[in-house]
Structure 1
Amino acid sequence: MRLVASDIDGTILGHDGKISHRTIRAFHACRDAGVELVFVTGRPPRWLHPLEDQLGHAGTVICSNGAVVWDLEAGRLVSARTLALDAVFETRRIIKQLRPSALFAAETLTGFHLEPGFIENDSSELLSEYTPAPLASTLTADDAVVKFLAIVREGTADDFLAEVSPAVAHLASATHSAPTVAMLELALPGVNKAVTLAEYAATLGIDAADVVAFGDMPNDIEMLRWAGDGYAMASGHPEAIRAAGQQAPHFDDDGVAQILEAKLAGLGVKPA
């Protein structure tokens, strides 16, 4: 175990916005033992405060499902893979044909653009600073789109993904990570957590065989397959569990911490 790569939401971070003390101790023990840590998330850089505030993490974070690499300590962009605006609007057109009720949003390197109604009841505190408006009127050539979002209020995310993914595959890769919402996350074709994680590990001279990865949702599937030791949370999506082939205990039971404690014990290390 030379590198630990972990998803955030639903893997180490709960709905209450907290990382458990046991999990924090396990990550600190990894760091003290010389094991590299990298967090691999669907979140944008501006939503990484739990890592800083609770874990004291100051390293690299792979954001937006692999589209962005962010240096947390320096607070700067390392790299980004972006969608062209014509691809964004053509993807929107195709999805609208399939699901006329769909609504859309776009994550850029500098902010967030959302259509009216994208956030139900406008109840999201994280997005309250953004004013809904048609994307065609707010997105400009200067906007670098790293993630395009589509949401419907009917059906499941799995069904929505199965319908949309093949129709837009030439324009964007699609996945999902919201456990109770039919929302798709679309990026440049070929971009996912595994691709960017593999590139990052290579810069450290670390092979997949020496990587332990944790995740819980379909946007983690490629990463869990790539890592030498991929663990899906027992509380995670069935497809993620199948892809990983190994399960960490349920999130509520500090599953990530349990696996890391066992691996550290094999190295003769005990979390403080």
Structure 2
Amino acid sequence: MRLIASDLDGTIVGRDGKISPRTVRAFHDAADAGVQIVFVTGRPPRWLTPLREQIGHEGMVICSNGAVLYDLAEDRVLSAQTVPHPDLFAAREIILGLHPRATFAAETTEGFQLEPGFAESSSVELLGKIMPRPLRESLVAGDSVVKFLARVGELEPDAFLAEVLPAVSHLVAVTHSAPTVALLEMARPGINKAVTLAGYADSLGIDAGDVVAFGDMPNDIEMLEWAGHGYAMASGHPLAIGAARFKAPAFEDDGVARIIESRLARL
């Protein structure tokens, strides 16, 4: 075990935004033992507060499902894989043809843009009082879109993914990570957590066989398959569990911490 790659939400971060003390200790112990740590998340860089305030992580974070490599210590985007605007708008039209009431948003390296109806008013306030506008008005030519989002209210998340994926896969990569909301996360084709993690591990001279990865949702599948020791959380999505070689105890049972502790004891 030379590198630990961990998802955040549902894997080590709860719905309350907290990371358990046991999990914090496990990551500190791993770092003290010389193991490299990287967090791999669907979150954008601006939502990394739990890592800063609870773990004190100052290393690399792979954000936006692999589209962004971020240096947390320097608060700097090191690389970004973006969705061309024409492909984004073409995918938007296809999704609207399937679900006319769908709403959309775009995560950029500069911020966040959302259309009316995409989020509740209280959520918009938390995002910095962003004014909802159609993306064709709010996105300007220089905006670097790293994640394109689509949301509907009348479907289960898996059903929405299954319907949209074959229709837009020539334009964007599609996944989801929200357990109860039909919210699709789209990126440039070929971009996922595994691709960027593999590149980062290679830059450190670390092979997949020496990587331990943790995740819980469909957006973690490629990462769990790529890592030599991919652990899906027992509390995770069935597709993630089915893709992983190994299973960690549930999030509520400090599953990640338990696996790290066990593997450190064997070093």
CA distance in 2, matches of 1:169, 1:197: 22
Say if 2:70 and 2:78, in contact at 8 Å, map to a contact too: yes
Q: State the superposition RMSD in angstroms.
A: 0.9
Say if 2:124 and 2:130, in contact at 8 Å, map to a contact too: no
Structure 2 unaligned blocks of 5 or more:
none
Counterpart for residue 186 of structure 1: 186
Counterpart for residue 37 of structure 2: 37
Size of the alignment, in residue pairs?
267
CA deviations on 1:86-144 (whole Å, 9 max, x unpaired) are: 11111100000011111000000011000111013543554242111111111110100
Say if 1:122 and 1:128, in contact at 8 Å, map to a contact too: no
Say if 2:106 and 2:112, in contact at 8 Å, map to a contact too: yes
User: Does 1:250 pair with 2:227?
Assistant: no
| TM superposition score normalised by structure 1 | 0.96
User: Does 1:24 pair with 2:17?
Assistant: no
Structure 1 unaligned blocks of 5 or more:
268-272
In structure 1, what residue type is equivalent to 2:245? G
Say if 2:229 and 2:245, in contact at 8 Å, map to a contact too: no
Distance 1:163 1:83, change over 3 A: same
Say if 1:105 and 1:150, in contact at 8 Å, map to a contact too: yes
Counterpart for residue 116 of structure 2: 116
Counterparts of residues 80-229 of structure 1 (less than 5 Å): 80-123=80-123, 126-229=126-229
CA distance in 1, matches of 2:147, 2:126: 16
Counterpart for residue 48 of structure 2: 48
Distance 1:124 1:262, change over 3 A: farther
In structure 2, what residue type is equivalent to 1:183? L
CA deviations on 1:14-71 (whole Å, 9 max, x unpaired) are: 0111100000000000000000000000000111111011001000000000000000
Partner secondary structure for residue 38 of structure 2: strand
